[in-house]
C-alpha cells in the first residue's frame, strides 16, 4: 500500500505544472514566473528544514541513531537503578508471564538524577537487553515557534519507532527522549499553545489512543529537573516507574574507574581505590574525564604508564580547572599560602586525615586550594558536622586576620559556602529559631541568626588556629618552596607541634 506522502508529492507536482501552464497562457512574462518558482522553492526548502512542511524529518533523523553495543555490565556502579530498570524491562522480554498474571505493561520509565550519572547509558543498555528497536531524540528537537510542528514531530517519532521495529522484525521498540523537561514542563494555562500541543500529543501517544498495538513501545525519558514536569506526565499509566540515578558511592566510583582504565596502561603503584576516596561527589562522567586527563598528562611527560601523580593532577584538573600561568607577587603568594593552610589545619583538627593536598597552583579562578577527601561517604549531616564544615570554610579568612590583621577578597567564595550551610541549618530546624517554615522568617531574622551562628564559629576557629601559630610558620616555608603540600606532610608537622 502506497504512503499518503507519496500521493501528496504527486498532487503537488501536478498542481505546480497546471499553475505554470495557466500563467504562461495568460501571458505572464517567463522571467517573473522563473523568479516566483525560485522564491517558492527556497521557502519550501527552508520550511522543510525547519519542520514546517515536512514534520516527519525529525522522527526519521532520530530513528537513524542506533545505539552502540552496550550492556548493563559495561555501566559502572548504579546497581540499584540497574535492578529497577531490568525488572521493568522484563515486562517486554517475558510477555507470556505478564499476560498470565494479568500485569499491565509499563508505558514509560523516567530516569532522574544529576547530570553525568549515566541515564543515557542505561537507556542504550535497555535496548540491547530487550533486543528492541531503538529511537533517540532530545526534548529540544520538538520545540518550534510554529503551532503544531512539535505535535507532528511527536507523531512521527512514534511512527518511526513502529516502522523500525517492523523492519527489524521485532515486537518491541524503545523511544528515548533526553532532557524531556524541554517539552514536558508544567502547563500554566497561558499562551504557550505550541508547548501545550506538543505535550498533549505526547500524552496521547503514551496512552496508545492512535497507535498500533502490534508493536509495544516503551518510552524512557531522562531529566535532572523532575520538579518541572507536568503532573499529567508523571501519573501512573504514563511514566509508571521513576528511577533515581544518583551520584556513585565509593565502591561504585572504583568500579567506574576500573572500567575506564581497561584500555589504559596503569603503573603498578597506581591506586584506583585512592582515587575513588578522593573523588567524593564526582559523577560517572567526571570519573571518565579523570582517567582521560591522567592519560593526557602521561602523554605530555612521554610516560608509557599512568601513575599516581598523573591521577592526582587529573583530579585537580577536573575539580578546579586547568592550571593557569598567573604571575603573583611574593606577598600574594604568602597570603594565599596562609589562607589555604588555615583551611587545611582546621580541617585536620576537626576531621583528622581528611586533607589530601594543599596547593598554591592557580587553577580556574582560584589562586590556591585544599583538596579534601572524606574517610567515608556521608549523606546525612548532624549539627556538629555542619558547624565543622563552616569552621573549615572560615579557616582561611581567620588565618589572614591572625597574620595580617585583616581579610582579602579571596574569602568571598568561602563566605558564600558558609552562609549556604547556615541556611541549611536554619531550614533543618537546627538553629535557635527552631522548626519554622523559611517563608515565615523575615529578612531581619535571617540576617540576625546568620550573624549569630557565623560570629560564634569564627571565635571558635580563631581559638583553634591560635594554638597552631608555630605550625603555620614551619608549613609556610615548605609550601612556598614546593608549591604543594601532601596530607601526610601536614599531619606530620601538626603531630610534631603536639
> Are residues 374 and 312 part of one domain?
no
pTM check: above 0.85: no
Q: Of the given ranges (4-8, 180-184, 490-494), which has the lowest mean pLDDT? A: 4-8
> Are residues 466 and 348 part of one domain?
yes
Is residue 27 one of the residues assigned to a domain?
no
Is residue 30 one of the residues assigned to a domain?
no
User: How confident is the model over 192-207, as pLDDT tens digits?
Assistant: 556 677 888 888 888 7
Distance CA 305, CA 295 (A): 8
Are 315 and 288 a contacting pair, CB within 8 Å? no
Q: Taking residues 101-127, what's their average pLDDT? A: 86
Q: Taking residues 471-488, what's their average pLDDT? A: 86
Predicted pLDDT at 144: 61
Is residue 80 one of the residues assigned to a domain?
yes
Say whether pLDDT at 470 is over 90. no
Predicted pLDDT at 394: 95
> Are residues 202 and 78 part of one domain?
yes
User: How far is residue 398 from each of residues 11, 118, 210, 464, measured CA to CA in Å?
Assistant: 80, 41, 67, 10
Report the share of the chain in percent with pLDDT over 90.
Answer: 24
Say whether pLDDT at 381 is over 60. yes
**In angstroms, how far is CA 406 from the centroid of its own chain?**
39
Is residue 3 one of the residues assigned to a domain?
no
| Residue of 336, 453, 462, 454 whose CA lies nearest to 395 | 462
266, 299, 320 - which closes a domain: 320
> Could you tell me the strand order of the sheet in which 484-486 lies?
369-372, 355-359, 484-486
Say whether pLDDT at 15 is over 70. no
> Are residues 261 and 344 part of one domain?
no
289, 320, 351 - which closes a domain: 320
User: How far is residue 30 from each of residues 18, 26, 34, 420, measured CA to CA in Å?
Assistant: 15, 11, 6, 73
Say whether pLDDT at 66 is over 50. no
Distance CA 312, CA 310 (A): 5
Residue 357 sits in which domain range? Answer: 330-497
320, 351, 370 - which closes a domain: 320
Distance CA 484, CA 316 (A): 12
> Are residues 257 and 225 part of one domain?
no
CATH number at residue 274: 1.10.8.60
Where residue 340 falls among pLDDT bands split at 50, 70, 90? very high
> Are residues 468 and 444 part of one domain?
yes
Predicted pLDDT at 165: 86
The dihedral sign for the CA sequence 198, 193, 242, 100 = negative
Is residue 419 one of the residues assigned to a domain?
yes
Say whether pLDDT at 320 is over 90. no
Distance CA 414, CA 368 (A): 13
Per the residue annotation, which of 205, 254, 340, 449 is the catalytic one?
340
Predicted pLDDT at 360: 85
Where residue 293 falls among pLDDT bands split at 50, 70, 90? very high
Is residue 8 one of the residues assigned to a domain?
no
Q: Taking residues 95-101, what's their average pLDDT? A: 79
> Are residues 120 and 97 part of one domain?
yes
How many other CB atoms sit within 10 Å of the CB of residue 156?
A: 22
Predicted pLDDT at 74: 83
> Are residues 482 and 352 part of one domain?
yes
Predicted pLDDT at 496: 76
> Are residues 272 and 236 part of one domain?
no
Where residue 51 falls among pLDDT bands split at 50, 70, 90? very low
Q: Taking residues 372-391, what's their average pLDDT? A: 82
C-alpha cell at 70: 552496550
How many domains does the structure of the chain reveal?
A: 3
> Are residues 182 and 263 part of one domain?
no
Are 133 and 165 a contacting pair, CB within 8 Å? yes
> Are residues 377 and 483 part of one domain?
yes
Across 155-205, the runs of DSSP E, i.e. the strands, are 172-178
Q: Length of the chain in residues, anyone?
A: 498
Where residue 12 falls among pLDDT bands split at 50, 70, 90? low
Q: Is 340 a catalytic residue?
A: yes
Say whether pLDDT at 2 is over 60. no
The dihedral sign for the CA sequence 403, 408, 414, 415 = positive
Is residue 444 one of the residues assigned to a domain?
yes
Are 242 and 112 a contacting pair, CB within 8 Å? yes
> Are residues 274 and 240 part of one domain?
no
CATH number at residue 71: 3.40.50.300
Which pairs with CB-CB distance under 8 Å and at least 24 residues apart come from 265-269? 265/304, 265/305, 265/306, 266/305, 266/306, 267/305, 267/306, 267/307, 267/308, 269/307, 269/308
Is residue 15 one of the residues assigned to a domain?
no
Say whether pLDDT at 409 is over 60. yes
CATH number at residue 413: 1.20.58.760
Q: Taking residues 80-94, what's their average pLDDT? A: 84
Are 139 and 153 a contacting pair, CB within 8 Å? no
Predicted pLDDT at 38: 67
Amino acid at each position: 500500500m502506497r504512503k499518503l506522502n507519496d500521493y501528496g508529492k504527486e498532487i503537488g507536482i501536478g498542481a505546480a505544472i497546471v499553475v505554470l501552464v495557466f500563467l504562461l497562457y495568460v501571458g505572464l512574462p517567463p522571467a517573473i514566473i522563473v523568479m516566483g518558482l525560485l522564491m517558492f522553492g527556497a521557502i519550501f526548502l527552508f520550511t522543510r528544514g525547519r519542520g514546517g512542511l515536512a514534520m516527519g524529518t525529525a522522527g526519521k533523523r532520530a530513528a537513524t541513531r542506533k545505539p552502540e553495543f552496550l550492556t548493563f555490565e559495561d555501566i559502572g556502579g548504579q546497581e540499584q537503578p540497574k535492578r529497577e530498570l531490568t525488572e521493568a524491562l522484563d515486562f517486554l522480554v517475558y510477555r507470556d508471564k505478564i499476560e498470565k498474571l494479568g500485569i499491565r505493561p509499563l508505558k514509560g520509565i523516567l530516569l532522574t538524577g544529576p547530570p553525568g550519572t549515566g541515564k543515557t547509558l542505561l537507556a542504550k543498555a535497555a535496548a540491547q537487553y530487550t533486543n528492541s528497536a531503538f529511537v533517540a531524540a532530545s526534548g529540544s528537537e520538538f520545540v518550534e515557534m510554529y503551532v503544531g510542528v512539535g505535535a507532528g514531530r511527536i507523531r512521527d517519532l512514534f511512527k518511526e519507532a513502529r516502522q523500525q521495529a517492523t523492519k527489524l522484525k521485532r515486537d518491541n521498540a524503545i523511544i528515548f527522549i533526553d532532557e524531556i523537561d524541554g517539552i514536558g514542563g508544567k502547563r500554566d494555562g497561558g499562551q504557550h499553545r505550541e508547548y501545550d500541543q506538543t505535550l498533549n500529543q505526547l500524552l496521547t501517544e503514551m496512552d496508545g489512543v492512535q497507535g498500533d498495538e502490534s508493536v509495544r513501545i516503551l518510552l524512557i525519558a531522562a531529566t535532572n529537573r523532575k520538579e518541572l514536569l507536568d503532573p499529567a506526565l508523571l501519573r501512573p499509566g504514563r511514566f509508571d516507574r521513576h528511577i533515581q540515578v544518583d551520584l556513585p558511592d565509593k565502591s561504585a566510583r572504583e568500579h567506574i574507574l576500573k572500567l575506564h582504565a581497561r584500555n589504559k596502561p596503569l603503573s603498578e603503584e597506581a591506586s584506583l581505590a585512592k582515587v575513588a576516596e578522593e573523588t567524593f561527589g564526582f559523577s560517572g562522567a567526571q570519573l571518565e574525564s579523570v582517567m582521560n586527563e591522567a592519560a593526557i598528562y602521561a602523554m605530555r611527560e612521554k610516560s608509557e604508564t599512568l601513575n599516581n601523580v598523573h591521577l592526582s593532577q587529573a583530579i585537580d584538573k577536573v575539580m578546579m580547572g586547568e592550571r593557569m600561568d598567573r604571575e603573583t607577587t611574593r606577598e600574594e603568594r604568602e597570603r594565599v599560602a596562609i589562607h589555604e593552610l588555615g583551611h587545611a589545619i582546621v580541617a585536620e583538627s576537626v576531621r583528622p586525615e581528611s586533607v589530601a593536598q594543599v596547593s598554591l597552583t592557580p587553577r580556574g579562578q582560584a589562586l590556591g586550594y585544599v583538596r579534601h577527601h572524606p574517610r567515608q561517604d556521608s549523606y546525612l549531616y548532624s549539627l556538629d558536622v555542619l558547624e565543622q564544615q563552616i569552621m573549615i570554610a572560615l579557616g582561611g579568612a581567620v588565618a589572614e586576620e591572625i597574620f595580617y590583621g585583616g581579610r582579602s577578597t579571596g574569602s568571598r567564595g568561602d563566605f558564600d559556602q558558609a552562609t549556604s550551610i547556615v541556611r541549611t541549618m536554619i531550614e533543618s530546624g537546627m538553629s535557635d529559631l527552631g522548626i519554622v517554615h523559611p517563608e515565615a522568617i523575615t529578612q531581619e531574622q535571617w540576617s540576625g541568626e546568620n550573624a549569630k551562628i557565623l560570629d560564634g564559629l569564627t571565635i571558635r576557629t580563631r581559638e583553634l588556629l591560635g594554638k597552631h601559630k608555630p605550625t603555620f610558620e614551619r608549613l609556610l616555608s615548605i609550601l612556598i618552596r614546593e608549591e604543594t603540600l601532601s596530607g601526610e606532610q601536614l599531619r606530620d608537622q601538626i603531630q610534631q607541634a603536639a
